[in-house]
Structure 1
């Protein structure tokens, strides 16, 4: 099976004011989206390893790099991340999951983000061209750091076609603009924000 990418789209957002208050520093999030051919669209295939072998590692390296380039930051400067797959109508959600829920996708992604340690939060769904997908984003070193729990919506007007999958990597240079709900670590210790 050969890799077939129709297009790559990069989306970058910088938020300067949140909740009617200027942010101390802009909240910067970028996502890189690859529109790929789904060779299993319109049929049931038991063995998904050829799909994994073709796309997982390549996209696990390519997409985080593209997202970091959009923010003009290094992997060490990435503070939070997430991933997703949006499968066209003739595919199974399992096809997208097969690509992004592997160590061959996740390990290169974490490595590029300064040897990150947490599991990449994810979102997968099926949709038609132009469908949006909300990507879960969390801190790259500590999933209990609530200030970095965010959602980032992406969409491509002409993708996915019925026989395509949109594979997505997102990175953020900070957490939310004005975090005030405290750390889960403190809550687990019985210390609640006042």
Structure 2
């Protein structure tokens, strides 16, 4: 008899995946020079640490669950945005349900088991900016993004709203990866690498 292999969704307690995608076609009455698609993919999983207490270790589940999530989410981001070469900025986030600890949200996104793999799959180099919180089902989380290889590129500082109407339940965690194919519409506030030096001494007047 052939041994039955466990599917990824069974292995990590995955309940659902939610994909959101948008593009701004006009801004301030004009078409952006580079209309950018933005997307987020959210995975809803059961909380593997529920009821374990604040002294319990988290590493075993991190090493098992986070790499699977990194691959599931980035595969769908790449497909939604037209290929990895099209993706210019990225971000990550997590929402833990009300019965869990805020540390449970961070445990799945603030480790190399997730962050390093998301960066590798999306061919990035920058540290991935993030958001995390504890909330009831349906909470909207604003996920920050910045350039995947040049974090100082201010044109790519942007956000995307992520929401799963029925998650997280009290015993669940929502893990999110997000990306964009370009900058904000009509970016024109300069770049951190070319900014002038600004201090209180260099300004003529600083409001008190």
Equivalent residues of 2:34, 2:183 under 8 A apart: no
Kindly tell me the number of residue pairs found equivalent between the two proteins.
188
Give the match's secondary structure for 2:143. strand
C-alpha separation between the residues in 1 aligned to 2:29 and 2:101?
42
TM-score, normalised with respect to structure 2: 0.85
Is 1:150 the counterpart of 2:158? The answer is: yes
Aligned-pair Cα RMSD in Å: 1.6
- Kindly indicate which of the two structures has a greater share of residues assigned to strand: 1
User: What's the counterpart of residue 203 of structure 2?
Assistant: none
What does residue range 59-138 of structure 1 map to in structure 2 within 5 Å? 59-71=69-81, 73-114=82-123, 116-138=124-146
Is 1:12 the counterpart of 2:10? The answer is: no
User: What's the counterpart of residue 52 of structure 1?
Assistant: 62
C-alpha separation between the residues in 1 aligned to 2:53 and 2:103?
11
TM-score, normalised with respect to structure 1: 0.91
CA deviations 1:95-150 (Å, max 9, x no partner) are 11111111121222112212x11011000001101000000100001111000000
Greater CA radius of gyration, 1 or 2? 2
C-alpha separation between the residues in 2 aligned to 1:6 and 1:75?
26
Is 1:170 the counterpart of 2:178? The answer is: yes
C-alpha separation between the residues in 2 aligned to 1:93 and 1:56?
16
Give structure 1 stretches of 5+ with no counterpart.
none
Give structure 2 stretches of 5+ with no counterpart.
1-9, 199-208
Give the match's secondary structure for 1:130. coil
